[in-house]
Structure 1
Amino acid sequence: MNITYPHTIENCIGEKLIFREVRREADGDRVIVENFVAPGSGPPMHVHRLQDEGLTVISGRIGYQIQGQSEQFAEEGETVVFERGVPHRFWNAGTQTLHCTGWINPANSVVFFLSAIYAAQNKSGKAQPEVFDAAFLLTRYAAEFDMVEIPRFVRTVIIPVTYQIGRLLGKYTHFKNAPEPLPTSSQLAVLQ
């Protein structure tokens, strides 16, 4: 997939994300981001299994939570870092648009994944992405991302079945140029 930067995505629930650039670094490509979030909006509890993420508040107030911990807040000029593998969520905890700058490292498939999730939300017209697109993305990129608020049975049974039904119905032709998924840790062990 060939993306030109800056690359802007918006969803129907008040989130706008601008991928400003990708910087080559020794520990992997770092994507530089800028986001704008409407009051009360923000992604649900999720995990980047292989990426760290940092957000600095430019204006507004961000609420954030690490799974199992209490809600916290950061104001203008403060930075929040979410370490890889740690489930987290954030939202606009103020009354004005939240504006942040930040980064995700290493970038891996995050630009494609988030662009496709936003498109699937716009397709459904709500926070929950269109079901077949969500099943494709959460299955194909399971080594990188997970939506931990989705009940385990749905994540381990319903989504894989939906993905297979989508394949049979030809629902994924628009993903023909999707980047290859990263190998899972079990696949890496076999390769070594």
Structure 2
Amino acid sequence: MTTTTMRYTYPHTIDNGSGEQITFIRFNDNEKGGMLEIENRVHPGAGPPMHVHHLQDESLTVIEGKIGAQVAGREPTFHGPGETVTFLRGIAHRFWNAGDDMLICKGWARPAYNMEYFLTEIYRSTKANGGKAPSAFDGAYLQSKYKTEFDVIEIPVLVKKVIFPITLLLGKLAGKHRRFAGAPEAVSNRH
């Protein structure tokens, strides 16, 4: 299995316009898909929706603030400075800033594969779309192309199976897919 073909200059910072910022500190390449070292800054109440990384483990250590973390089907847990939360691949989860001050965490994701590209494009589109969600085409394109690696659990199955294909078809007819020329191939979850 190969790592993503995209390479960035580090540190590489992304901002979704709704209170979340991730800095990719460095990418450590290896034959197992590499590891991303990250730092995130999350405003009070902000955080990603319930999602799953099918291939990546993710770990966050709180530097400042208070993190709320939840694995699907379980009660939330809360952690402060020096405490670590690890989300294993294939397990749906979410986290958020559960405090009143900025949440700052350092951590890693491995194997990285297309995580940096996927998040960079989702954050770019979300910010350009007013910080609420990525544009309909971008969300459908990225969620569909990288479905073997990532899934946003909060998007209804009907939307993924019916609305996304229609959105992709109309977007391709309008040429919206061209902005993703050169996007890395998705990594199969069969290894």
- TM-score normalised by structure 1 residue count: 0.93
Q: CA deviation at 1:24?
A: 3.0
After TM superposition, give the deviation of residue 2 of structure 1 in Å: 2.9
Contact preservation (8 Å) 2:149, 2:188 = no
Q: 2: distance between equivalents of 1:26 and 1:57? A: 29
For residue 9 of structure 2, the aligned residue among 4, 7, 11 is 4
- Whole-Å Cα distance in 2 between the matches of residues 2 and 24 of structure 1? 11
* 1:16 maps to which of 3, 12, 21: 21
Shift >6 Å, 4+ stretches:
none
Distance in 2 separating the partners of 1:68 and 1:161:
31
Distance in 1, Cα, partners of 2:92 & 2:12: 26
64, 71, 94: which one aligns with 1:66: 71
Quick one: which amino acid aligns to residue 12 of structure 2? H
**Which residue in 2 is equivalent to 1:123?**
128
Task: Give unmatched runs, 5+ long, in structure 1.
Answer: none
Write the distance in 2 (CA, Å) between the matches of 1:164 and 1:79: 42
User: How many percent identity over aligned positions?
Assistant: 47
Q: Determine if contact 2:28/2:35 at 8 Å carries over to the other structure.
A: yes
Secondary structure of 2:176's partner?
coil
Residue pair 1:139, 1:163 contacting (<8 A) in 2 also: no
Cα distance in 2 between the residues matched to 1:140 and 1:160: 11
Q: Considering only aligned residues, what root-mean-square deviation do their CA atoms show, in Å?
A: 1.3
Q: Which residue of 1 aligns with 2:94?
A: 89
- Report whether the alignment pairs 1:173 with 2:178: yes
Provide the residue aligned with 2:160 in structure 1.
155
Aligned residue number for residue 44 of structure 1 = 49
Structure 2 unaligned blocks of 5 or more: 1-5
Residue correspondences, number: 186
Deviation, structure 1 residue 25? 4.4
Task: Name the counterpart of 1:34.
Answer: 39
CA contact (8 A) 2:55 2:189 kept: no
SS of the residue corresponding to residue 47 of structure 2 reads coil
